[in-house]
Amino acid sequence: MDTLSHLLRLARVEASLDMRCLVGPATRMDSPARAGREAPFHVLLAGSCRLHIGKQVLDMGPGDVVVVPSGAPHRIVTPGDGTPQGTKVTSGAAFLTARSERGGPEVSDLFCGRYGFGAGSGALLFRSLPDPIHVSFGRSPDSADVLGTLSALMRSEAHCEGDGTAAILAGLCTALLAMVLRTARGANTNATLWTAAGDATIASLIERIFEAPGDDWSIERMRRAASMSRATFLRRFGQSTGMTVGAFVTQARLMTAAHLLTADDATVVSVAARVGYRSESAFSRAFRSATGVSPARFRREALTGAGEH
């Protein structure tokens, strides 16, 4: 299994399409803060809009996708003069539909949803991502073709809204997340995504680390495997991932550990050893620092469902 598919499986990602916004000029839509393990996303199929989050303003055009891993509150505004207007929402079998209060010609066709993810690997994955992520598939002919097909399927299914629509749209939104996470930094995105290292040598190392997180992944070993000097290796690793080597290795080990703690009945000691920790205490400190709970408590809550809220 390729690394990205493996990551999404570890993270236990579940997509949900909540609303389609067919809105007119000068329309303002607020997205409140998300509690728990949810990351909102927006995909603009047609038209334009601006997304305001904190002090950032993101201009979105057709084929643009924004994911907010932190779940922070944000606002979407469509272009147009006059007094800003809100929306009126109608219910459907699979999702809500928002339209401008005062009507007017549609200037934006926007899908809004959220990604839910697991408490261990999922939380670690989304916490490690830039916030927000803004990807413009429409700027790349190859990506635009793929997203165009995906958008057409989403629009077609949204129009039909029949049996299975919610499940089909959820599957398409999960595919959309995979497309976002494999987009390397450049003209198409605003941030460095370690899930899409553009350097082939670094990407190969990332794959090897996830395949064997318990190995001794020292800088010396990795720079030799990459046939680079220490300085060159550290620079290229940082440029490709946006992370230090140590932070990345810890990330890979703890994501794998969270999965192992709920996948079988292995002891905490054996899980620690399998992901490269020489002592249970060192592993427990690192795991608690990253997740907020001890490995034993994490396993207990995962098995009883106590942590799933």
pLDDT in tens, the chain (309 residues): 788 999 999 999 999 999 999 999 999 999 999 978 999 999 998 899 999 999 999 999 988 999 999 999 999 999 998 899 999 999 988 889 999 999 888 999 999 999 999 888 999 999 999 999 999 886 655 555 677 788 778 888 887 777 888 889 899 999 999 989 988 665 567 678 899 888 899 999 999 999 999 999 999 999 999 999 999 999 999 999 989 999 999 999 999 999 999 887 889 999 999 999 999 999 999 999 999 999 999 998 887 765 543
CATH class of 3-194: mainly beta
Measure the CA–CA gap between 173 and 216, rounded to whole angstroms: 37
Q: Report angle CA 75, 78, 81 to the nearest 5 degrees.
A: 120
Q: pTM here?
A: 0.89
Measure the CA–CA gap between 286 and 247, rounded to whole angstroms: 11
> Which spans in 86-140 are helix H?
121-127
Q: Are 210 and 257 in contact (CB under 8 A)?
A: no
What is the Cα gyration radius of the chain?
Answer: 21
Q: Any bridge partners for residue 90, and if so which? A: 97
One-letter amino acid at 120 equals G
Q: Are 34 and 99 in contact (CB under 8 A)?
A: no
Measure the CA–CA gap between 198 and 183, rounded to whole angstroms: 9
> Would you state the pLDDT for residue 309?
39
Question: Strands 14-23 and 108-116: what pairing?
Answer: antiparallel
Measure the CA–CA gap between 90 and 97, rounded to whole angstroms: 5
DSSP-based three-state secondary structure for 48: coil
Burial of 229 (0-12, 13-18, 19+ CB in 10 A): exposed
Measure the CA–CA gap between 20 and 32, rounded to whole angstroms: 17
> Would you state the pLDDT for residue 128?
92
Q: Any bridge partners for residue 14, and if so which? A: 116
> Would you state the pLDDT for residue 138?
66
Measure the CA–CA gap between 125 and 302, rounded to whole angstroms: 17
Which CA distances in Å does 171 have to 3, 74, 174, 251, 288?
19, 25, 5, 27, 32
CA dihedral sign, ordered 40, 44, 47, 48:
positive
The number of beta carbons lying within 10 Å of the beta carbon of residue 203 is 18
HSE-CB of 90 using CA atoms within 13 angstroms: 7
The fold of 198-304 is Arc Repressor Mutant, subunit A (1.10.10)
CA nearest to 57, candidates 79, 38, 87, 35: 79
Task: Locate the domains of the chain by residue range.
Answer: 3-194, 198-304
Q: What is the largest CA-CA distance in the chain?
A: 65
HSE-CB of 295 using CA atoms within 13 angstroms: 25
Measure the CA–CA gap between 12 and 37, rounded to whole angstroms: 11
